[in-house]
Structure 1
Amino acid sequence: MKVLKFGGTSVANPENINQVKAIIQNEASEKIAVVVSAFGGVTDLLLNTSEYASNQDLSYKKGFKEIEDRHFETIRKLIPVKEQSTILSKVKSDLNTLETLLEGSFLIGELTPKLSDKIVSYGELLSSFIIAEFFKAEGLDAAYKDTRELIKTDANFGKANVQFDTTVHNCNAYFKTAQQRITILPGFVSSSGANDSTTLGRGGSDYTAAIIAAAEKVDILEIWTDVSGMYTANPKLVKQAKSVSRLSYEEAMELSHFGAKVLYPPTIQPVLNEGIPIVIKNTFSPEDEGTQITKNTNGNGKTVRGISHVGGISLLSLEGPGMVGIPGISKRFFETLSQEDISVVLITQASSEHSICVCISDTDVEKAVNSVNDAFTYEIASHKIKPVIVEKDLAIVALVGDNMKSHQGLSGKMFSTLGKNNVNIRAIAQGASERNISAVILKNDVKKALNALHEIFFEENIKQLNLFVMGVGNVGSKFLDQIKQQRKYLKQELKLNVRVIGISNSRTMYFDEDGISLKDWESNLANGKKADKSLFFDKIRELNYRNSVFVDNTASEEVSLSYAKYLKNSISVVTCNKIACSSDYTYYKQLKKLATQYNSPFLFETNVGAGLPIIDTLKHLIASGDKVNKIQAVLSGSLNFIFNNFNDSVSFHDIVKQAQEEGYTEPDPTIDLSGVDVMRKILILARESGHQLDMNEIVSDSFLPEESLKTNSNDEFFETLKKNETEFQKTYKDAKDENSKLKYVAQFENGKAKVGLQKIPIGHDFYNLEGSDNIVLFYTERYPDQPLIIKGAGAGAEVTASGIFADIIRIGNF
């Protein structure tokens, strides 16, 4: 014999019930007991309707009508017309009784636990009767049996305690004489010694099936639901979660206790005592393997078997100097909670005995606070103990596994993973069995915590990065193209799964929580919402993804001033925007400090030299104990391009125009030609070398006429270039006459920086610098005479995008 239990989703509608019939027809010819839940959603409907009635709200009649229609419609769809009359008559009679009970609750304005059990029991009583009649009409050898006649309990209405001796006797007596191969039974319901209807608690249909399975010592208990077994984590929150093929009873109990709703926790105990395997199967994918729950068969296999969570938690703390060394405080505390029938989910106590923390359900908080404060009135009044401290909106996440015992490093791995993602841990607990490590966190961090932990413990060390990209022009579009091209390589070779979740330009923004398709991001963005920098940030914070990275490809000062709030929310920042790092020194230092404080990398390699590893190299020099004495550099790809191509056969205006059109300059070319861009770069290098310096301390020797610097538009600026062509040609001729080339040079030495156009003679390291290349010479204590030279392409959308890409990879390896 075997027992099969089908949950509410499995019998939610006629189509699903037909699927259940097909599963039962495929069973062997042995006897089977089929326990069914109420039709999906009906139990909640009954509870809500009875609450309306007890509040004397006539809306209960609407709820009752919905319940009535639901069952009548199911009968009409499942049962042949000629056989409907008797069934409809019986169901109508039961519904009339239900209506009378609801009217009674409405009239007295009260809903006692006893009355509630009577009302709620009709969900299973009606569904099981209808399904049994459907099976019989389909020719199955089936019979209906009311479990209230089998399972006997005490009179603890709402969550009755089973009287096992009587129940086992009743089950043995019935199944020994039952003639039909299939017995259909309502789950969840039972009866007291006085034959009043009782219930076994939410999820009690699982428990019903387990009680019958244990009483009959069946070969197997099958729990049929809407998922293919128990998962490594909640698949609704963790898309990478996968079904676990085997679990021990103890592991399953821990997981179900901590929120794995596939299985009602008390279900396991009856079958565990008898050693009966439980198999959790998917009604809608019956061919899937599912999860088998037996004695521990994991051997020396995986340590962590699942990650679970339970929400709706509050943390109660009792603390004060009057607790230290005083026997009986804990006893009084827990006794008070017990007397109020408050279940404690987690306990932790400081070794100093100064405080005790417990986790309870949010719904019990007010009752718990009042009762505990009353119990310790004297100690609170004499300031020996503080009034109970409450923290709400919490959840518990837990690692579960039989083989976690004595396995070093699991707790550290768990807590460091949460810490890196700025998930604040309010309390921790680990049982003596070491089968469970639990952490109390904010409920808003649950999804991020589960995904981060799942990534570490189950996903072969593949790290997911979630990018939010602002600015998709020249650089931004090239960056997205590079991600699209390299995604497969990153996943296979570097174990990085890079997803772009949000993108924005100055007009629109677009989000896809599962990752934006990089094949058609342009069309999605074009049809997105109106761009709003504040709402962009709010959306990132709302999603609260692990390993979130904000990528700024703009030149906006407003955007650069938002970095602090990103970092404070543990959102890493990667930027080619130089404004933040060259702004006021205190802001620059604040960003660096926040990055460390919130474990959020702040990377800006492309601020100097586009894709060249200039800042990264400098960081390594400083970190290894070297000291920078002098920096000389050509840091403007645009100015280098301009002066490499400017000569007496072409106008300065035309070369600058060409540089702008080919993307070598900023949209406003005065930023490059005024030297501001180079000043920012040498300032950043000075700061990264460990020096405190601000923009106004840099000496700038401008080659542009004053009137060019004062223009208000590009058109005005280009007109001044035409007007001063003679001066530009003279500057070129002077350098040529000295066999030199013009280079715009930045220099930092002895704490001072300067920038300006210089004549570079033959033989100098800068002389043969071609195109838009950059070059940096680091003179350090280790490189005093022959400098460390970094040279290469220092401008252009492709190389800048590649520099941003490199920073993303650095974060992936963080």
Structure 2
Amino acid sequence: MKILKFGGSSVATPARIQSVIEITKPYLGSDVAIVFSAFGGVTDQLIQISTLALEGNLEYKQKLEQLQKRHLDAVRELIGVQKQSGILAQVKIKINELEDVLHGVYLVKERTARTLDYIMSFGERLSAYIIAEVMKDQGIAAEYLDARTVIRTDNQYGYAKVDFETTNKQIIDHFKHHQDVQIITGFIATSESGETTTLGRSGSDYTAAIFAGALHASDLEIWTDVDGMMTADPRLVKKAFTVPQMSYEEAMELSHFGAKVIFPATMQPAMINHIPIWIKNTFNPGFVGTVIHAESSNGKLIKGISSMNNVSLLNVQGSGLLGVVGVSMRLFATLAREKVSVILISQASSEHSICIAIESQYARVAKTAIEKEFVNEIRNEEIDEVQVEGELSIVAVVGDGMKHSPGTSGRMFAALGKNGINVAAIAQGSSERNISAVVKQADVAKALNALHEAFFLSDRKVLNLFLVGTGLIGTALINMIEEQFAKLASENLLEVNVVAVANSKKMLFDENGLSLKKSINDMKEKGEAMNMYSFMAKMFSLNLPNSIFVDCTSSQEVTDFYEAILTANISIVTPNKKANSGSHEKYRLLRSTAFKRGAKFFYETNVGAGLPVINTLNDLLLSGDKVISIEGVLSGTLNYIFSTFTEGKKFSEVVKEAKAKGYTEPDPRDDLSGLDVARKILILSREAGLSLELADIHIQNLVPADCQGDMSGDQFFSALQKHDAEFEKLRAQAAAKKEKLRYKAVLCDGKVKVELGSVTEQHPFYSLSGSDNIILLTTERYQERPMVIRGPGAGAAVTAAGVFADIIRIGHYTK
């Protein structure tokens, strides 16, 4: 025999009911019984209606009429007109019976647990009756079975305990005398005194398992609205997938910690009788689903990750706990008297404290009861006042494969740590089947995704990017990500998900990832007003794992938020030099914040665009080398100007040409001032270990005095022409000595200067052309022949490439 069970979402509408009947038809040639829940949402409606009646709110009558109409409409749509009248009458009789009970609640302003069980029973009684009649109308030999006639329980209303000896006997006797397909009410039963009881929310699964156990069924099929037991909650983890098979113990652990696909008690009768449980999808009936049986298989380390929200931690601690026998017994006996269930227990070997996790709704009651039990110890300061921490969740990794497998907990806590998720308590049982951690409820989605990646997608990593700055560099970066997306996924196993883009006016977010081709246009057309506070708030609220903030602006305002971003465990990649060339105090603060929070702060493109300058320098220092001097041409713009400034050309014309080709800033004076070069050499100086400020650097400003101040571009070039002769004189003097002009930054003996000078034919800077940069690193190891790093040092493409490389580095770090 097979037992099938269909949940409320499977029978939420007449169309769904008909689909369910079609699913059952192939089973009807053999022994089968079918359990049904109430129509989707009806149990919640019944609770709401009874609450309104309890409050004396006459709106309960209107809600009851809506409930009646829903069931009557289902009959009218699913059953032929000639057979409707009797069935409609029976539905109305049941509704009238319900109305009488609700009227009593309304009058006496009392709703006991027993009364609520009775009220809730009408959902299943109506749905199973209607479906049985629909099946009979379609020629199926079906019979309605009110489970209250065969399932016996105690009188613990709301969560009654089953008397299996009596129940099994009555189910077997019933099936001996009834050959038609039994259409059974889930969730409900009868106490020894004849009162209606319920088996707990989601108890229809349990009902099906009770029948399966009593009848020694070959299979128990739970039909729901998902494709089986998932590796994680698909509402929170988009990449969750179906687990083909798992053991009873694994399924029980997962369901206890929040996996709502199957009711925990369902496993008990199935386990005792070794009945396979199939989890299948009513909306995708062809999918094989998940089978739960005696043994775990397929060699996976874990089978799933689940979570439980609305948890509070109670910490009982004090010197009075050390070595005192019976403290734990008193603690848990006190909670048991208050009917408070303990979800998780954690105690250190010092015995100084006991930490327990319970549902938050019981936190106040538990705290009061514990402090009353230990009132003398608290008065004598042997035990501290009970500390309660709320707004927490439990995340648990579950799997039989964890037994005797070193490294599981390391992988779990590394994944949480790299994403800045603090763990408040930890528990692992001796079965080694479950490792549970208590985290902030705000972090639960982030934790689940991080753990899912670590255990199920360990070869693939998703990086969530938040990009501010969609100018030349930002646009080039998005194009590169799009071009390299497939290659990154296949070769580097990295998936770059651009969650947000913003410019100075607009911002656009999509947690699932923006369309790269349309992201900037969509931002301009559909984006909301941009300000950094709003951007930060949205980014923080999403709380996505492996988040990276990419700053492709030159804005000081944006860098002012770096500390807060790093504190939120979001890594930063940026070509923006403002943060690292600000005060030395801020420079150190950002590094220490990144280190403390486990975030990455990468800024290779601060110096030399895509050239590996900063990484190379840091590698040398980490290996024990020491810097003697650094000399560099660090402005691609100025190098273009002075390598193009040859005999017969006017300096002002060369600058204008550089601007026309896009090499300069919108205002060329920003380049000619030398401040940008000073910022770069300042960053290198700090990387080399010097505590310098920008004011400590001697900077030669190439903008003549009369070319400074507020003026238009045309006015600037007109004023600059007057100085062409001065620059020509400098060029000619250098040429006479067979030298060339170069705008250089030099760090030597702890001092830094940025100025225009000439270099000989033997100098590495002599042959430099175009917009290339060049850096000479003279160190103790590279003293006789300095290390030379040379290449394009300006341009959106090479800078974006450097930013992209830093993003990929972070991806490899998080793997």
Relative to the length of structure 1, the TM-score reads 0.98
Q: Does 1:153 align with 2:153?
A: yes
Offset of residue 522 of structure 1:
2.7
Q: Secondary structure at the match of 1:34?
A: strand
Aligned to 2:455: 457
Offset of residue 723 of structure 1:
2.9
Q: Does 1:754 align with 2:778?
A: no
Between the aligned partners of 2:47 and 2:129, the Cα distance in structure 1 is 20
Aligned to 2:355: 357
Q: Secondary structure at the match of 2:320?
A: helix
Aligned to 2:394: 396
Between the aligned partners of 1:146 and 1:670, the Cα distance in structure 2 is 87
Contact 1:611–1:803 (CA under 8 A) maintained in structure 2: yes
1:716–1:597 CA distance, 2 compared to 1 (3 A): farther
Between the aligned partners of 1:177 and 1:135, the Cα distance in structure 2 is 20
Between the aligned partners of 1:562 and 1:716, the Cα distance in structure 2 is 37
Offset of residue 110 of structure 1:
1.7
Alignment of 1:365-380 (within 5 A): 365-380=363-378
Between the aligned partners of 1:312 and 1:157, the Cα distance in structure 2 is 24
Aligned to 1:775: 774
Aligned to 1:79: 79
Residue identity matched to 1:254: E
Between the aligned partners of 1:651 and 1:515, the Cα distance in structure 2 is 50
1:28–1:42 CA distance, 2 compared to 1 (3 A): closer
Between the aligned partners of 2:368 and 2:109, the Cα distance in structure 1 is 26
Of stretches 787-796 and 703-712 in structure 1, the one that deviates more from structure 2 is: 703-712
Contact 1:3–1:34 (CA under 8 A) maintained in structure 2: yes
Question: What do residues 254-311 of structure 1 show as CA deviations (whole Å, max 9, x unaligned)?
Answer: 1111111000000000110000110000011111010001111417x11111111111
Between the aligned partners of 2:806 and 2:13, the Cα distance in structure 1 is 52
Aligned to 1:105: 105
Q: Secondary structure at the match of 1:813?
A: helix
Aligned to 1:96: 96
Between the aligned partners of 2:533 and 2:717, the Cα distance in structure 1 is 36
Q: Percent identity?
A: 48
Contact 2:5–2:205 (CA under 8 A) maintained in structure 1: yes
Alignment of 1:198-347 (within 5 A): 198-298=197-297, 301-347=299-345
Contact 2:398–2:435 (CA under 8 A) maintained in structure 1: yes
Aligned to 1:34: 34
Residue identity matched to 1:273: I
Aligned to 1:694: 693
Offset of residue 713 of structure 1:
5.0
Aligned to 1:637: 636
Aligned to 1:804: 803
Contact 1:503–1:511 (CA under 8 A) maintained in structure 2: yes
Offset of residue 556 of structure 1:
0.5
Q: Does 1:736 align with 2:708?
A: no
Q: Does 1:683 align with 2:670?
A: no
Contact 1:5–1:222 (CA under 8 A) maintained in structure 2: yes
Offset of residue 55 of structure 1:
1.9
Between the aligned partners of 2:662 and 2:385, the Cα distance in structure 1 is 66
Alignment of 1:169-184 (within 5 A): 169-180=169-180, 182-184=181-183
Aligned to 2:476: 478
Q: Does 1:6 align with 2:6?
A: yes
Question: What do residues 378-398 of structure 1 show as CA deviations (whole Å, max 9, x unaligned)?
Answer: 111222112211111111111
Offset of residue 28 of structure 1:
5.0
Offset of residue 506 of structure 1:
1.2
Aligned to 1:440: 438
Q: Secondary structure at the match of 1:475?
A: helix
Q: Does 1:791 align with 2:790?
A: yes
Contact 2:464–2:497 (CA under 8 A) maintained in structure 1: yes
Between the aligned partners of 1:334 and 1:661, the Cα distance in structure 2 is 79
Between the aligned partners of 2:554 and 2:661, the Cα distance in structure 1 is 17
Offset of residue 715 of structure 1:
4.5
Offset of residue 720 of structure 1:
2.6
Between the aligned partners of 1:692 and 1:708, the Cα distance in structure 2 is 33
Alignment of 1:373-772 (within 5 A): 373-527=371-525, 528-711=527-710, 714-772=713-771
Residue identity matched to 1:593: S
Between the aligned partners of 1:525 and 1:354, the Cα distance in structure 2 is 55
Of stretches 69-78 and 741-750 in structure 1, the one that deviates more from structure 2 is: 69-78
Q: Secondary structure at the match of 2:193?
A: coil
**Number of aligned residue pairs:** 812
Q: Secondary structure at the match of 2:341?
A: coil
Question: What do residues 12-36 of structure 1 show as CA deviations (whole Å, max 9, x unaligned)?
Answer: 1111111100011122511211000
Question: What do residues 234-268 of structure 1 show as CA deviations (whole Å, max 9, x unaligned)?
Answer: 11111111101110111111111111100000000
Residue identity matched to 2:368: N
Q: Secondary structure at the match of 1:479?
A: helix
Q: Secondary structure at the match of 1:768?
A: coil
Between the aligned partners of 1:51 and 1:712, the Cα distance in structure 2 is 74
Residue identity matched to 1:16: R
CA RMSD of aligned residues (A): 1.2
Q: Secondary structure at the match of 1:26?
A: helix
Contact 1:314–1:390 (CA under 8 A) maintained in structure 2: yes
Of stretches 56-65 and 524-533 in structure 1, the one that deviates more from structure 2 is: 56-65
Between the aligned partners of 2:259 and 2:570, the Cα distance in structure 1 is 30
Residue identity matched to 2:367: V
Question: What do residues 716-737 of structure 1 show as CA deviations (whole Å, max 9, x unaligned)?
Answer: 4333312322222222222222
Question: What do residues 607-657 of structure 1 show as CA deviations (whole Å, max 9, x unaligned)?
Answer: 000000000101100111111010010000000011111234333223223
Contact 1:395–1:442 (CA under 8 A) maintained in structure 2: yes
Instruction: Please list every run of 5 or more consecutive structure 2 residues that lacks an aligned counterpart in the other structure.
Output: none
Q: Secondary structure at the match of 2:126?
A: helix
Residue identity matched to 2:135: F
Residue identity matched to 1:189: I
Q: Secondary structure at the match of 2:666?
A: coil
Q: Secondary structure at the match of 2:438?
A: strand
Between the aligned partners of 1:662 and 1:793, the Cα distance in structure 2 is 15
Q: Secondary structure at the match of 2:222?
A: strand
Q: Secondary structure at the match of 1:690?
A: coil
Contact 1:674–1:709 (CA under 8 A) maintained in structure 2: no
Question: What do residues 309-333 of structure 1 show as CA deviations (whole Å, max 9, x unaligned)?
Answer: 1111111111111111111111111
Offset of residue 427 of structure 1:
0.1
Residue identity matched to 1:145: L
Between the aligned partners of 1:720 and 1:337, the Cα distance in structure 2 is 85
Contact 1:663–1:797 (CA under 8 A) maintained in structure 2: no
Contact 1:679–1:695 (CA under 8 A) maintained in structure 2: yes
Stretches of 4+ aligned residues off by more than 6 angstroms? none
Residue identity matched to 1:350: A
1:60–1:657 CA distance, 2 compared to 1 (3 A): farther
Aligned to 1:190: 189
Q: Secondary structure at the match of 1:632?
A: strand
Q: Secondary structure at the match of 1:71?
A: helix
Q: Secondary structure at the match of 1:139?
A: coil
Residue identity matched to 2:216: K
Contact 1:702–1:757 (CA under 8 A) maintained in structure 2: no
Of stretches 70-79 and 648-657 in structure 1, the one that deviates more from structure 2 is: 648-657
Question: What do residues 743-793 of structure 1 show as CA deviations (whole Å, max 9, x unaligned)?
Answer: 100000111100000111212100000100000000001011110110000
Offset of residue 460 of structure 1:
4.3
Offset of residue 138 of structure 1:
1.1
Between the aligned partners of 1:769 and 1:14, the Cα distance in structure 2 is 79
Residue identity matched to 1:149: T
Contact 1:711–1:717 (CA under 8 A) maintained in structure 2: no
Between the aligned partners of 2:711 and 2:64, the Cα distance in structure 1 is 73
Residue identity matched to 1:329: V
